[in-house]
């Protein structure tokens, strides 16, 4: 049976007080609705239908890379109407999963549980019990069996006491769903076509109705304003921190870490406060990360020490390296085993060989650096002539004196030495000493400039 998903994302989100459509506001660094689309893909959906209304151009700009059917809901006439506009994309024998673009935290296993509970020719609803159900539709049961859903504004006093509420997420047989959508009425307090009315229709026809629940109520919370958006963010980050600790990481403060992607860790990893992970990050055993670091799309080997305020993006760091504080690895940077970069050192598209070090105030761009090389403070590989990038190659055991400029393309041989303050423009052979600086002159009787009146 094919799985078809319908994601409702047409709301404007007035209470967000933003030019951005509500579902594009981010949780963990990506739009809320992208979380929902990713879930649909992970579930193996053969068709995903995104029902949109407000901000269509912005939605397509940010979400255009996804394989979805774009379904326009020109008028917002309720959830039943929103699903109905996607009817032509629903097959009679499909299993249809209805999701919401502003409910980003629903876990894949929760949706799998709902689909598993769905009768082959029936309906299943994701419900949750809340201590305070105010504002939500209540689940109506007769001898334990679901018979309908009543919205808050249509509920009587007795029904308002019910604590089991409707999350809106449901799964259904495609042919039955389309038939029920055609029979919806807007005779209610809101004047809208309620998707929830199909539960009563199913009951009246003797169709089997089941339900399941998430492991945590926050999985089914939406965001209508920025306060609620922040609550979703904290809940998500709390879960990520918990998983990191379960996997073998110690966190200085679980409330002060942000995961905006996927992090895998080895054992005995130590993470200080205000660390941000983005994209795909892999940490080996015994990694130590200081405060205020940002790691994005990188692989960190065993025993690496990353000191405070270090940024690593699209880079690879082998075992036993140290970085920082205030170091930066840009895309294409590679540190081989036991290499070291210190404060205010930046690497881009460069390889630092095994046991080599650049401990202070250095820029290494488009460079290939051998083993056991010492890069003195203030060294720059001058890799850009204003039009083209060129490469600097430094052999094993070379020594580059402080405040040197290596003007690429240039090669420094193995065990070569570059004197401090040199501007090197031609190749240096193995074991050679290169001194490339102006001759010093000391002048007597020189007068300093004076300030003009």
Q: Is 17 annotated as a binding residue?
A: no
Nearest in space to 316 (alpha carbons), one of 289, 296, 290, 294: 296
Query: Pairing between strand 138-142 and 145-150?
Result: antiparallel
Query: Pairing between strand 423-424 and 405-407?
Result: parallel
Q: Is 187 annotated as a binding residue?
A: no
Q: Is 210 annotated as a binding residue?
A: no
Q: Is 402 annotated as a binding residue?
A: yes
3-class SS letters over the chain: CCEEEEEEECCCCHHHCCCCCHHHCEECCEEHHHHHHHHHHHCCCCEEEEEEECEHHHHHHHHCCCCCEEEECCCCCCHHHHHHCCHHHCCCCCEEEEEECCCCCCCHHHHHHHHHHCCCCCEEEEEEECCCCCCCCEEEEECCEEEEEECHHHCCCCHHHCCEEEEEEEEEEHHHHHHHHCCCCCCCCCCCCCCCHHHHHHHHCCCCEEEECCCCHHHHCCCCCHHHHHHHHHHHHHHHHHHHHHCCEEECCCCCEEEEEEEEECCCEEECCCEEEEEEEEECCCCEECCCCEEEEEEECCCCEECCCCEEECCEECCCCEECCCCEECCCCEECCCCEEEEEEEEECCEECCCCEEEEEEEEECEEECCCCEECCCCEEECECCCCECCEEECCCCEECCCCEEECCEEECCCCEECCCCEECCCECCCCEECCCCCCCCCCCCCCCCCCC
Q: Is 437 annotated as a binding residue?
A: yes
Q: Is 22 annotated as a binding residue?
A: yes
Given the structure tokens 């509420």, which residue do they identify? 165
Q: Is 52 annotated as a binding residue?
A: no
Q: Is 377 annotated as a binding residue?
A: yes
Q: Is 427 annotated as a binding residue?
A: no
360 in catalytic set? yes
Q: Is 166 annotated as a binding residue?
A: yes
Q: Is 101 annotated as a binding residue?
A: yes
Out of 25, 89, 360, 397, which one is annotated catalytic?
A: 360
Q: Is 135 annotated as a binding residue?
A: no
Q: Is 73 annotated as a binding residue?
A: yes
Q: Is 79 annotated as a binding residue?
A: yes
Q: Is 338 annotated as a binding residue?
A: no
Q: Is 420 annotated as a binding residue?
A: yes
Q: Is 10 annotated as a binding residue?
A: yes
Please give the annotated binding residues for Mg(2+), written as ranges.
Answer: 102, 224
Please give the annotated binding residues for acetyl-CoA, written as ranges.
Answer: 377, 383-384, 402, 420, 437
Q: Which residues are catalytic?
A: 360
Please give the annotated binding residues, written as ranges.
Answer: 8-11, 22, 73, 78-79, 100-102, 137, 151, 166, 224, 330, 348, 363, 374, 377, 383-384, 402, 420, 437
Please give the annotated binding residues for UDP-N-acetyl-alpha-D-glucosamine, written as ranges.
Answer: 8-11, 22, 73, 78-79, 100-102, 137, 151, 166, 224, 330, 348, 363, 374
């Amino acid at each position: 049976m094919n799985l078809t998903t319908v994601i409702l994302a047409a709301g404007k989100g007035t209470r967000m007080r933003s030019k951005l459509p509500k579902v594009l506001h981010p949780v963990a660094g990506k739009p809320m609705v992208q979380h929902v689309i990713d879930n649909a893909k992970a579930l193996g959906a053969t068709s995903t239908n995104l029902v949109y209304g407000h901000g269509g151009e912005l939605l397509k700009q940010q979400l255009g890379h996804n394989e979805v059917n774009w379904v326009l809901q020109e008028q917002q006439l309720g959830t039943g109407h929103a699903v109905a506009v996607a009817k032509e994309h629903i097959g009679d024998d499909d299993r249809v999963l209805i999701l919401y673009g502003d409910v980003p935290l629903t876990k894949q296993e929760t949706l799998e549980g709902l689909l598993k509970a769905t009768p082959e020719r029936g309906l299943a609803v994701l419900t949750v019990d809340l201590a305070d159900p105010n504002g939500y539709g209540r689940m109506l049961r007769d001898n334990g069996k679901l018979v309908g859903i009543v919205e808050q504004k249509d509920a009587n006093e007795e029904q308002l006491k019910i604590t089991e509420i409707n999350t809106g997420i449901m799964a259904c047989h495609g042919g039955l769903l389309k038939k029920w959508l055609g029979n919806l009425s807007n005779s209610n307090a809101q004047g809208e076509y309620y998707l929830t009315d199909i539960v009563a229709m199913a009951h009246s026809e003797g169709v089997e109705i089941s339900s399941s629940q998430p492991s945590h109520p926050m999985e089914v919370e939406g965001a209508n304003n920025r306060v609620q958006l922040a609550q979703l963010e904290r809940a998500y980050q709390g879960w990520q921190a918990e998983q990191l600790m379960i996997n073998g990481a110690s966190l200085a403060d679980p409330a002060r870490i942000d995961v905006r992607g996927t992090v895998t860790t080895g054992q005995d990893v130590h993470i200080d406060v205000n660390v941000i992970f983005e994209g795909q990050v892999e940490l080996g055993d015994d990694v130590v990360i200081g405060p205020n670091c940002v790691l994005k799309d990188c692989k960190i080997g065993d025993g690496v020490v990353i000191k405070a305020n270090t940024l690593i993006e699209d880079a690879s760091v082998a075992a036993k390296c140290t970085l920082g504080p205030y170091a930066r690895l840009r895309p294409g940077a590679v540190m081989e085993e036991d290499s070291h970069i210190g404060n205010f050192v930046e690497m881009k598209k460069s390889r630092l060989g095994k046991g080599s070090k650049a401990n202070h105030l250095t820029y290494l761009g488009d460079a290939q650096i051998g083993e056991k090389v010492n890069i003195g403070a203030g060294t720059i590989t001058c890799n850009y002539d204003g039009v083209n990038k060129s490469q600097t190659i430094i052999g094993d055991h070379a020594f580059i004196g402080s405040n040197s400029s290596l003007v690429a393309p240039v090669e420094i041989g193995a065990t070569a030495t570059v004197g401090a303050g040199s501007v090197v423009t031609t190749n240096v052979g193995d074991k050679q000493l290169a001194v490339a600086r102006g001759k010093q002159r000391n002048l007597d009787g020189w007068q300093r400039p004076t300030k003009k009146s």
